[in-house]
């Protein structure tokens, strides 16, 4: 049986270098205390923001310095826990960080409260009188938009102090998932294979061996089933929290409350769901039918959806080879962007090891004033290269934004956040296509590209649809239970896949797999971002450098514009459904090409 390594057994080169944040445990703890001290110093501005624009500027600049340090400390604790959730020191650091961040948040809540208590027009007058406030104009005006939903200063302070408690549902989910869950081994005797969240999602789910794939899913589902009530209670608590907060703040719904910071209207939100769920489903059903036919499956199960179409042609790739391919593909974005990519690969920004206790999935954490960190678990397949390109897209985006924008303006709306990352996946596919005219290679690359659309337009959008239904249910006063969540998930899958998918009980438990339900209305933004990047990538193919230049300006703009303005800068109009429909049609064209390449007449 293959041995799962502990974190201490992993070679340093396969891990990220967190010493760029703090070079020791002692330095991290000192950073936490320094941040707490800076927060106490900021209290000298309490009750004084009415005195004038110079006082406000000094306060906001000191707040920026504090937030940068707090971001470093909180990121360090979060990244340590992500690399090994079984390490008691990492768990203790996470608790310490969360407690201090809650204290800081509570102590600083007076800033927003006092600004919102100023008479109408005072903030605008400050902006006109003090040029130094120009970098804060956008964030100040967005703050003023929340005034109808602001509670009393005392209540806001109390809520901020409860930040660690209010974040408990997500932490409970992670602890159960990463620290406590165990899985049955696969196979028998000396040929047994271990199973885990990471191994299933990174290896077995994409295995060409249907017996192994289905056995792994059965083992995976058995463990999910055993923890379903704990996971459901954590998610139900998160949902109740959002419902209570939305009502306290006077919003019409949780959805309206969570969309406001994204600068997204209900129409924009619903357009993504309604258009893709209706127009994409027929194309994805064709893809499922093609897989069933070509793989000779007796039935198409949920666990077969990611099976490779050509099991005998799935070239392995090392992490180093993937880095080289990604660098070549992204060279079209120019030298400044290329330097960021090179730094990510050469300066240990990426943690690609597989070890006990490591977080599942992949993410990029960008720390303003330092750099980005990327977590991925390398499984030696091309899907990993696309995931790597995706996370480097987040790094390149936020590094350019941080270089060109203030802390207050560097991070864009969540609605746009997945566009730069998915753009890189599309550029990688184009690059790989350009390197080979072999038909077998072409259909393999198309399959990889369709995996990108499956991940963003199917996996995450179906998560989002479950989320949409859950909030409606909770707001009607109905309880959220494990059985209800499985029922909803089954219904969402059935509505989308129709008769092409034979729904089993394990598929209904897949609501337990993703952490995005604890991150507000995040799941649907994957589809929004990929819609925008699909349109922008087409413009790059058609126009070349002018479209590239526009895209780079969008990345550098960070959060200084609304998501609609950012997309318009790139040449994409997301006010209606047209680009969404075009993206669905593009997926349909890829499926059609793949079908033609699998026709008996196709000469491979």
Q: What is the DSSP string of 335-396?
A: HHHHHHHHHHHHTT-EE----TTPPSS-EEEE-TTS-EEEE----SSHHHHHHHHHHHHHHH
- The pLDDT, as a whole number, for residue 545 is 96
What residue spans of 405-438 are helical by DSSP H? 414-417, 419-434
CATH 1.20.140.70 fits 9-166, yes or no: yes
Q: How far apart are CA 164 and CA 167, in angstroms?
A: 5
* pLDDT digit string, tens, across residues 410-441: 999 999 999 999 999 999 999 998 987 788 88
The predicted structure's pLDDT at residue 143: 94
CA distance 491 to 508: 9
Q: Can you give the pLDDT at residue 345?
A: 97
pLDDT tens-digit profile of 154-199?
A: 998 899 888 889 999 999 998 888 778 889 999 887 778 988 887 8
Backbone φ and ψ for 395, nearest 5 degrees, come out as: -65, -50
Q: What is the Cα–Cα distance from 314 to 583, expressed in whole angstroms?
A: 27
Whose tokens are 């179906």? That residue is: 462
Neighbours of 75 (CB within 10 A): 20
Residue found by looking up tokens 């961040």 in the block: 101
What confidence score (pLDDT) does residue 578 get? 95
Q: What pLDDT is stored for residue 163 in this prediction?
A: 86
User: Residue 191 in 3-state DSSP?
Assistant: helix
Q: How far apart are CA 567 and CA 275, in angstroms?
A: 19
DSSP conformation class of 260? G
Angle at 431 between CA 428 and CA 435, to 5 degrees: 140
Domain ranges of the chain: 9-166
Instruction: Report pTM.
Output: 0.88
Q: What residues contact residue 134 under an 8 Å CB cut-off, 6+ apart?
A: 127
Give the per-residue SS3 of 27-92: HHHHHHHHHHHHHHHHHHHCCCCCCCHHHHHHHHHHHHHHHHHHHHHHHHHHHHHHHCCCCHHHHH
pLDDT value at residue 365:
97
Which residues in the chain show pLDDT less than 70? 1-2, 600-604
Instruction: Write down the pLDDT at residue 1.
Output: 44
Taking a C-beta distance cutoff of 8 angstroms, is the pair 418, 456 a contact? yes
């Amino acid at each position: 049986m293959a041995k799962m390594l502990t974190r201490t057994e992993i070679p340093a080169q396969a891990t990220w270098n967190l010493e760029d944040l703090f070079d020791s445990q002692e330095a991290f703890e000192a950073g936490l205390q320094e941040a707490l001290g800076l927060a106490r110093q900021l209290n000298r501005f309490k009750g004084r923001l009415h005195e004038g624009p110079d006082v406000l500027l000094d306060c906001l600049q000191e707040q920026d310095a504090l937030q940068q340090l707090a971001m470093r400390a909180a990121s360090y604790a979060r990244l340590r826990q992500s690399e090994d959730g079984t390490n008691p020191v990492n768990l203790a650091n996470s608790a310490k960080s969360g407690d201090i961040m809650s204290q800081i948040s509570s102590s600083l809540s007076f800033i927003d409260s006092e600004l919102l208590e100023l008479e109408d027009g005072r903030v605008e007058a400050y902006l006109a009188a003090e040029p130094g406030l120009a970098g804060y104009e956008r964030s100040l005006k967005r703050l003023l938009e929340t005034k109808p939903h602001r509670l009393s200063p005392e209540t806001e302070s109390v809520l901020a102090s409860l930040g660690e408690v209010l974040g408990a549902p997500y932490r409970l989910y992670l602890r159960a998932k990463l620290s406590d869950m165990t899985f049955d081994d696969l196979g028998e005797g000396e040929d047994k294979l271990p199973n885990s969240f990471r191994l299933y999602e990174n290896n077995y789910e994409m295995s060409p061996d249907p017996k192994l794939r289905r056995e792994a899913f059965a083992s995976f589902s058995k463990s999910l089933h055993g923890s379903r009530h704990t996971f459901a209670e954590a998610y139900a608590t998160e949902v109740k929290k959002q419902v209570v907060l939305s009502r306290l703040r006077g919003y019409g719904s949780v959805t309206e409350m969570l969309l406001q910071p994204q600068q997204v209207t209900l129409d924009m939100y619903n357009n993504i769901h309604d258009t893709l769920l209706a127009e994409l489903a027929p194309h994805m059903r064709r893809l499922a039918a093609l897989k069933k036919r070509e793989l000779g499956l007796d039935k198409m199960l949920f666990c077969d959806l990611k099976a490779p179409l050509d099991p005998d042609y799935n070239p392995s790739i090392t992490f180093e080879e993937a880095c080289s391919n990604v660098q070549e593909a992204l060279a079209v974005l120019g030298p400044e962007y290329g330097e960021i990519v090179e730094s990510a690969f050469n300066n240990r920004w990426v943690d690609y090891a597989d070890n006990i206790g490591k977080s599942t999935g992949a993410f990029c954490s960008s720390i303003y004033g330092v750099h980005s960190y990327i977590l991925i678990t390398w499984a030696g397949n091309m899907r990993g290269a696309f995931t790597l390109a995706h996370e480097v897209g987040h790094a390149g985006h936020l590094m350019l934004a941080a270089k060109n924008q203030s802390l207050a303006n560097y991070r864009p709306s969540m609605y746009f956040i997945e566009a730069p990352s998915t753009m890189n996946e599309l550029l990688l596919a184009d690059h790989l296509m350009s390197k080979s005219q072999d038909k077998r290679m072409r259909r393999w690359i198309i399959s990889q590209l369709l995996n990108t659309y499956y991940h963003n337009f199917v996996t995450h959008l179906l998560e989002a649809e479950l989320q949409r239904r859950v909030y409606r249910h909770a707001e009607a006063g109905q309880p959220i239970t494990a059985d209800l969540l499985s029922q909803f998930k089954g219904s969402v899958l059935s509505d989308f896949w129709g008769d092409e998918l034979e729904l089993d009980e394990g598929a209904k438990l897949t609501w337990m797999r993703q952490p995005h339900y604890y991150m507000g209305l995040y799941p649907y933004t994957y589809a929004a971002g990929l819609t925008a990047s699909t349109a922008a990538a087409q413009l790059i193919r058609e126009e070349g450098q002018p479209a590239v230049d526009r895209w780079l300006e969008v990345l550098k703009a960070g959060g200084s514009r609304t998501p609609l303005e950012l997309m318009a800068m790139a040449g994409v109009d997301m006010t209606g459904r047209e680009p969404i429909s075009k993206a669905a049609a593009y997926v349909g064209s890829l499926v059609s090409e793949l079908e033609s390449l699998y026709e008996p007449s196709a000469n491979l």
